[in-house]
Structure 1
């Protein structure tokens, strides 16, 4: 079959940089970032995050070819910022948002697991954050807490 191997879609080869930067010589405060082994998912998220920055005048991306696993992100900023600063700010903001989302999903998953378990009401309140600072409670329910943590680890939470 002529199709490339699946791993080529996401594994960056040795010696290739994940992100390259190229300044646009025709337009002031403009640049292109080539991101290897990414597709529309990252391109659209990054574009939308760049649009949230008031110093960004233009942000767009393109996928040159479906079998060429890279995206090209173009950014133009005002004179108060540079494309590199806007790009770094967008990446850092997305990183914080994803960390927050991961924590929220983990918390809600733990609450779901606990509310559907057969523990008593005090233990359910504790897992919702009411009694975690109480040492006597922690000692009393240590085995239940370790069981809950092992269940979360098993499910990847």
Structure 2
């Protein structure tokens, strides 16, 4: 859900359900890496409401595009972290298997 002036798409507040500080802080960090973003912040309206509000202001590009791009960037980052973790687990298991084979 988006609030704000329809005439100026460079400033918008997005309200996302079923999210908390984990997603909000990550997306805020990612958005602040974007040179098009002049301001980004988030709030949680009430602790019992599982919802976050994200405010995005850009240099002129639609705020919706900046948020979408940040979500895609976060997805790639998560995929990279997952791949790195899975490889480390696999390498660890292989090295432990070799060590136990050597000791027999």
Q: TM-score, normalised by structure 2?
A: 0.89
Equivalent residue, structure 2, for 1:45 = 26
| 1:100 matches 2:80 | yes
Give the deviation of 1:21 after TM superposition: 2.0
Large movers: runs of 4+ above 6 Å:
none
Alpha-carbon separation, structure 1, partners of 2:43 and 2:101: 52
Greater relative contact order structure (CA < 8 Å, 6+ sep): 2
Q: Tell me the CA shift for residue 82 of structure 1.
A: 1.0
What whole-Å deviation, never above 9, does each CA across 1:41-91 have from its counterpart, x for those lacking one?
Answer: 111000000000000000000001000110000000012x11011000000
TM-score, with normalisation over the residues of structure 1? 0.60
* Bigger Cα Rg: 1
Residue 47 of structure 2 is matched in structure 1 by 66
